[in-house]
Structure 1
């Protein structure tokens, strides 16, 4: 275990730095957008630029890695990420920000792909779970730490944007200067959306709904806190509780789902999510403890449900199909993250910031209802011996998977020398 951590120490350090910048960026952008007087719908359009770039990167970035290698791609993407946040401080226009956020989404997804494929190769089967748990905790700590940088500056000037760019730029150094050997090229897989639906309609629909829910909160949570009268410190704390719930909630949900029909767990998660979202609708910054507790519960349902879909789909697949199915689920999840913020932004424009809670409650209700409907149709459950293991998925919004990567039908030439940076 210790040897595995030493071999990836520089990569972990780069990851923490990148996530600090990510947390700062994802809270700074909506706070500044609200300060500019942009409507929730316009802010949701900006957020959609990020999710579109993120989803496209899941398809394009593997091809880039095949051509020039992990380290070069990581360095190039961090450079794009740095440029996108710095130029956002110079050109403050929502139309331009759609493009800048698309660039940042593309870069973040590609960085995740490089980091996770690298980690996956460096660990053994015996240490994989422990190492990825540490990775998940570090991404969480970095993201939360970045959010708490916002109260230390003024979102209305360029200082926080510059700090964010500096953090991103420094994130290149540990990996670029590491002497560790780069991982082997990423395996190419086929997308199989039709096969996935035939195997598991619950996982197919659930992945879209999971993307809608998590993509909406990740994109508009900062808008909700700002328009609801939170200080930046209170807003950072609320967002931190949602992320903490997402990380810690995966442990009990995963264990329970390994012991029973996962569809029952999906129904329970959706129902609890509805109750927690409605509770947040009736709360305000004047009741912080109750609000933070409800936010923790929302997060503990919001993020683990995607991992539930992955596990349920794998229950009904052959081992040789795991990567194809996981890749297909990620594409569906990406579609959800694109559509979710647009609808959520419209809901906030009509009903105010608390409209986001109504929207989340409806999304959770659909998630629970569809799983319940499939149970009522009499589809048999998978026996415990045939169930795949539940694997926690790191938060925040994910677009890659430790088990493999997305690659559509293309032929790429691979030069072994390019992997020896």
Structure 2
């Protein structure tokens, strides 16, 4: 429900602003405001959950998200949408933290891998479904009302549960500098994932609208579906391959695929037949949306088990930093006379630079031996607390902002 709500909200926000004549730079600013809210919420939510518990915190953030979703109907000013997007990001970050935390505590150890995989698939399906639901709406404000209704529906199972609330805890993440020292390729790949994927995720309706398709709303839904489907299809094969060879080579391969597909979309998106267009979008999703999980897996190969959760929280912060910069940078490139196709010129350049970096790292430092690797696990960018659910870690964590003992073999 939450993923469908957010996906539908992202689509209607971008289309409403574009219809109101907002510039590409303004649209990028609004996207960056959402990411800023996500980051702020990720830092605040664990404290609130500890204070009032998971159920009350979830209800608090959900009620706030509903109010904000309805508030979008009151104005089409860029400044108003920017402020509201900060609150949207903040509320959804809190919702994910409360929901992820509940799942983390409730999952039996022997079922963690299966639950992580199922959770990943459900989230993707929710994100795919949201824009298609929007297709059936008619009124200008219906998209915002739909998002509010879906968020309200998400409260129902939480409010009706009779299960006891889990205990709360807080993990101090690695600092970004320590992540970079530990695994530079993973840090750069995570930052690129935030900078590129958040820009595309927030601004793709603008790109699609610029293709002059007779039904841009329908094409936007198809674009989003193909993007996420490509990611779902590629993730497991890429992960299993990376268990057998240097993960950086697989990240580089995915980056190259993403870069090539991005440049095709930038240069030929308006002339490709629909089938070919959807295929290239799926190819882009396979390359660009899959490498974050490999970055986490690569960093995990170099992290002690008792430090795993803190490492994953730290790498998510790096992703968040990229996600704040990305939409604004993407909007700026689109405003340089390139128009909507500038979004994928930006994405292609970002993916190409990441590819060059991670492949260069594979040449100057040794790969982690296969026998020393942990199994690949799909990793989400929803909240810091979901890192605790990862089967590669355990429950004992420490304050790891200190760089002590970080002088291991770096790659």
**Residues in 2 aligned to 1:373 and 1:141: alpha-carbon distance in whole angstroms:** 35
Deviation at 1:183, TM superposition (A): 1.7
**Residues in 1 aligned to 2:138 and 2:158: alpha-carbon distance in whole angstroms:** 31
Is the contact made by 2:190 and 2:295 (CA closer than 8 Å) also made in structure 1?
yes
Counterpart for residue 126 of structure 1: 110
Counterpart for residue 328 of structure 1: 314
Please identify, of 44-53 and 135-144, the stretch whose mean Cα deviation from structure 2 is larger: 135-144
Deviation at 1:60, TM superposition (A): 1.1
Match of 2:181 among 191, 195, 198: 198
Please identify, of 340-349 and 196-205, the stretch whose mean Cα deviation from structure 2 is larger: 196-205
Deviation at 1:343, TM superposition (A): 0.9
Is the contact made by 1:109 and 1:400 (CA closer than 8 Å) also made in structure 2?
no
1:153 aligns with 2:140: no
Counterpart for residue 346 of structure 2: 359
Counterpart mapping for 1:279-318 below 5 A:
279-281=264-266, 282-284=268-270, 287-318=273-304
Match of 2:37 among 49, 53, 57: 53
Deviation at 1:163, TM superposition (A): 2.4
Is the contact made by 2:296 and 2:379 (CA closer than 8 Å) also made in structure 1?
no
Counterpart for residue 89 of structure 2: 105
Q: Secondary structure at the match of 1:380?
A: coil
Deviation at 1:171, TM superposition (A): 1.5
**Residues in 2 aligned to 1:188 and 1:317: alpha-carbon distance in whole angstroms:** 16
Q: What are the superposed Cα offsets for residues 62-121 of structure 1, whole Å, 9 maximum, x if unpaired?
A: 111111111111111111111111001112211011111111101111111122221122
**Residues in 1 aligned to 2:75 and 2:398: alpha-carbon distance in whole angstroms:** 35
What TM-score do the two structures reach when normalised by structure 2?
0.90
Structure 2 residues without counterparts, runs of 5 or longer: 390-396, 400-411
Q: Secondary structure at the match of 1:152?
A: coil
Size of the aligned set, in residue pairs, is 388
Deviation at 1:190, TM superposition (A): 4.0
Deviation at 1:195, TM superposition (A): 2.3
Deviation at 1:399, TM superposition (A): 4.0
| Residues 222, 398 of structure 1: alpha-carbon distance in 2 compared, 3 angstrom cutoff | farther
Match of 2:207 among 224, 242, 246: 224
1:338 aligns with 2:321: no
Deviation at 1:336, TM superposition (A): 0.2
1:268 aligns with 2:253: yes
The runs of at least 4 aligned residues of structure 1 exceeding 3 Å deviation read 397-401
| Residues 400, 26 of structure 1: alpha-carbon distance in 2 compared, 3 angstrom cutoff | farther
Please identify, of 56-65 and 124-133, the stretch whose mean Cα deviation from structure 2 is larger: 124-133
Please identify, of 365-374 and 279-288, the stretch whose mean Cα deviation from structure 2 is larger: 279-288
| Residues 317, 39 of structure 1: alpha-carbon distance in 2 compared, 3 angstrom cutoff | same
What TM-score do the two structures reach when normalised by structure 1?
0.88
Counterpart for residue 52 of structure 2: 68
**Residues in 1 aligned to 2:280 and 2:64: alpha-carbon distance in whole angstroms:** 36
Deviation at 1:44, TM superposition (A): 0.7
Is the contact made by 2:256 and 2:287 (CA closer than 8 Å) also made in structure 1?
no
Q: Secondary structure at the match of 2:135?
A: helix
Q: Secondary structure at the match of 1:126?
A: helix
**Residues in 1 aligned to 2:180 and 2:264: alpha-carbon distance in whole angstroms:** 34
